[in-house]
Amino acid sequence: MTTDRNRTAHTDGPTGPTGSTGRATTAALTADSSDSPSPRGRSALVFGGSRGIGLATARALAAQGHRVTVASRGGEAPDGLAAVRCDVAEPADVDRAFESAGRRQGPVQIVVCNVGVREDNLLIRSDAAAFQRVVNTNLTGSWRVLRRAAPALVDGGWGRVVLVSSVAAVLGMAGQTNYAASKAALVGLGRTVARELGPHGVTCNVVLPGFVRTALTEDLPAPRRAQIVDGSALGRAAEPEEVAAVIAFLASEAAGYVTGAVVPVDGGLAMGV
């Protein structure tokens, strides 16, 4: 789907993003002001965790007793959470994000990768540079996160990885050849990681959000919002917390036998695809 907002950092929906991870070249950890989590909690790092689905996910994980750091372009620390600046297009930033989270809360065991940018344009008007920029963040950036996370997950013998894709990956959206292609590729990435790391007690799953109520989607013209919502079986937009609940489950002990799954949370928008 085409909008007038390009190069937008995100947490996904069919219009693209609703959260953020972007282009900072330094990483800085902000101290957590919350109470100490349960000793049963795991160490979690949520990329794209400063707003939208990512922030709702970070809060859901924290509510379950996990020690949570959010990584985002601005590095803002939401209330009760630690934060680190990170641009997943920069390998050094990804390294520093894991190092900062590890110093604060121990080796990262739960990784939620909810990052990306859009540069919307029709195929006939698009160019290779824009395609490469989008792929470098959405796909290669996610690979950087997983590559950095994998050794500690394997060494620890336990891990949960959740990649946040988009319903655009299976539906296709006019004006989003680069975005939809990069998000579809996360399925292949996630399922391969599931096979490689599964013997070490690590699961990897992919979530496909549909149209989610966020500041970004609320900025769309009302007729376009209504058109998308009417295409879903439930006839309404999702709240970020509804998607976060699914991600939190996939990151839980209870989801230990769920891996390589592609889970739509789209109200039936892509049903049958």
Active-site amino acid positions = 179
Q: Which residue has the tokens 């796909």?
A: 139
Q: How far is residue 106's CA from residue 66's CA, in Å, rounded to a whole number?
A: 11
Q: 201: how many CB neighbours lie within 10 A of its CB?
A: 14
Q: How far is residue 261's CA from residue 127's CA, in Å, rounded to a whole number?
A: 33
Residue 263 backbone phi and psi in degrees, to 5: -110, 110
Q: Tokens at residue 66, please?
A: 């996990």
Q: By C-alpha distance, which of 114, 136, 140 is closest to 16?
A: 114
Sign of CA dihedral 83, 189, 168, 239: negative
